[in-house]
Structure 1
Amino acid sequence: MPIRARTLCNDMLNFARNQFTNILLLALLTALISIVLSHVLSPGSEQLITLSDGRHIDDTANMSFQQRIQHMSMEQQRILLKASAANSLAGLIGDVLLVGGLLTMIRQVSNRHSISVLRAICLSAPLFPRLLLLIFFTTLLVQLGLLLIVIPGIMLAIAFSLSPIIVTNDNLSAIKSMRLSASLALANLRLLAPAVLVWLLAKSAILLLATRFALVSPFVTAILLNGLSNLITILLLIYLYRLYMFLRQA
């Protein structure tokens, strides 16, 4: 019996509806952890003020991003690099907690075991090293593909989309999971490509929203927008998990 995208979407929505509270808590909790870590690891406020000096902004207002970096002093470039690294590391840790916690929750619920968000994250702890390597490699490759030429980045995102499910369910290494995911993705492109494309578009829309959306507290705004981004990722992971279960049975 062929696998239908409608069946996968219905299964995804049913699971999301039944576990809505836990899913929402997981999305917001991992968003909070990412924002707090980013704040803790980022340069201090005095250094950031140096980076955003008003005269420097006026002088480089009509320049590209690369030209602005070239016109920065060594100290300003160091601060920018530290802030970027802090945001990347915080996002990576948040993604690992999100993916590990969610996939553990799905397995437990599928086995008819009730589980809380914190317990799901704790049970997924042994998976963190492999997930950390996997998400780091896949994110790096996809981002490089999107920066150089957009199409390769999209294709890599589709090719590696099943790798988090494979690494958690089949106890494989990050590289083997990426290879198996790529082979399965090529064979099931019609089921994977639309879901990953919608996910990429939704994440891009949130990035655009972040530049225009403002609340009283920037901290609250960051948590809400990151939480929304996490919810979209959760829906995609549920879809991919269900698809992988069908592929294993086939």
Structure 2
Amino acid sequence: MFITIRELCNDTYHFVSKEIKTIFFISIVATLISILINMLIKPDMHIISIIENNKFINSHSVFDFVNNMSEYEKKALLKYSIFKIIEFLTSKTFLLGSIITLITCLSDNKKQPISFSIIFFTKLLPSLFFLNCITNIIIQIGFIFFIFPGIFLSILLALSPIILSFKKNTLIDSIKLSISISWKHINIIGTGVLFWMCMKFILTKVLFNIPIINTNFIFLILNVSINVFFSILIIYLFRFYMLFSRT
């Protein structure tokens, strides 16, 4: 069976149009999880000010930036980085797990009981969290060296959570299979991933250049919007893998 980008976009559009309220709700909850973690674990404001001012911008590299810091600042930066990673992984895992559960429960055109959805979601969440840890470490290593390896790795690893939910493979097997399939269909997978990255970049630039709106409100709108577009990406990739698995 020949899979086209046009077909995937049409399928994704029809699913999103039917389930847009649920997708928005899941995106809002994922954003609220990030906000809650921010409220419970207060980061060092001194480190935030260092990161946001010109010291970070004027540094030639991350390593140069860290080397110019004091021992106290390095420890505080490490704590802040761990905090941000936990926040990101928690909200992303919830979003991924919820969207995958939603598609799985609706994919066979049967109304699944709520108990099935809860059991599927709770079983998927722990392995999905560890998978996100592994894939994000790999992707961030790519971005540290240069932006293109990071983008390329994002494309190759994009299918891994879908494969994990489908076949119940081990984490490593899901990653290997994702790389193999994505490499063969890099035009299809790459189109979806690059679209999401472009939308994330455009939303960030547009919203943070609006001078009137409160910063906290911008953070809320930005995160909900990014989560919605990420959900659309997951639906696009899930549909691709459904069609691919039938061939």
TM-score of the pair, normalised by structure 1: 0.85
* 1:155 shift after superposition: 1.6
Q: Take 2:183 and 2:57, find their aligned partners in 1: how far apart are those partners? A: 43
Q: Take 1:8 and 1:193, find their aligned partners in 2: how far apart are those partners? A: 13
Q: Which residue of 2 aligns with 1:170?
A: 167
Q: Per-residue displacement from partner, 1:109-165 (whole Å, max 9, x unpaired)?
A: 123345799995664111112111111111111121122122222221111111110
* 1:222 shift after superposition: 1.6
* 1:70 shift after superposition: 4.0
Contact map agreement 2:208 2:218 (CA 8 A) in 1:
no
Q: Which residue of 2 aligns with 1:150?
A: 147
Q: Take 1:182 and 1:27, find their aligned partners in 2: how far apart are those partners? A: 27
Q: Take 2:135 and 2:126, find their aligned partners in 1: how far apart are those partners? A: 14
* 1:185 shift after superposition: 1.0
Q: Take 1:140 and 1:8, find their aligned partners in 2: how far apart are those partners? A: 29
Q: Which residue of 2 aligns with 1:246?
A: 243
Q: Per-residue displacement from partner, 1:174-202 (whole Å, max 9, x unpaired)?
A: 11001011111122122111111112222
Structure of higher RCO (CA pairs closer than 8 Å, 6+ residues apart): 2
Q: Which residue of 1 aligns with 2:74?
A: 77
The correspondence of residues 10-29 of structure 1 with structure 2, limited to 5 A, is: 10-29=10-29
The correspondence of residues 21-170 of structure 1 with structure 2, limited to 5 A, is: 21-43=21-43, 47-49=44-46, 52=49, 60=55, 63-64=58-59, 66=62, 69-114=66-111, 120=117, 123-170=120-167
Q: Which residue of 1 aligns with 2:200?
A: 203
Structure 1 residues 166 and 62: alpha-carbon distance in aligned structure 2, compared to 1, 3 A threshold: closer
TM-score of the pair, normalised by structure 2: 0.86
Unaligned runs of 5+ in 1: none
Q: Per-residue displacement from partner, 1:60-119 (whole Å, max 9, x unpaired)?
A: 598427555444433333323222221111110001000111001001112334579999
Q: Take 2:79 and 2:90, find their aligned partners in 1: how far apart are those partners? A: 16
Q: After alignment, is 228-237 or 137-146 more displaced? A: 137-146
Q: Take 1:212 and 1:116, find their aligned partners in 2: how far apart are those partners? A: 45
Contact map agreement 1:12 1:238 (CA 8 A) in 2:
yes
Aligned-residue RMSD, C-alpha? 2.8
Q: Take 1:116 and 1:230, find their aligned partners in 2: how far apart are those partners? A: 26
Q: Which residue of 2 aligns with 1:2?
A: 2
The correspondence of residues 213-228 of structure 1 with structure 2, limited to 5 A, is: 213=210, 217-228=214-225
Count matched residues. Answer: 243
Helix, strand or coil for the counterpart of 1:220?
A: helix
Unaligned runs of 5+ in 2: none
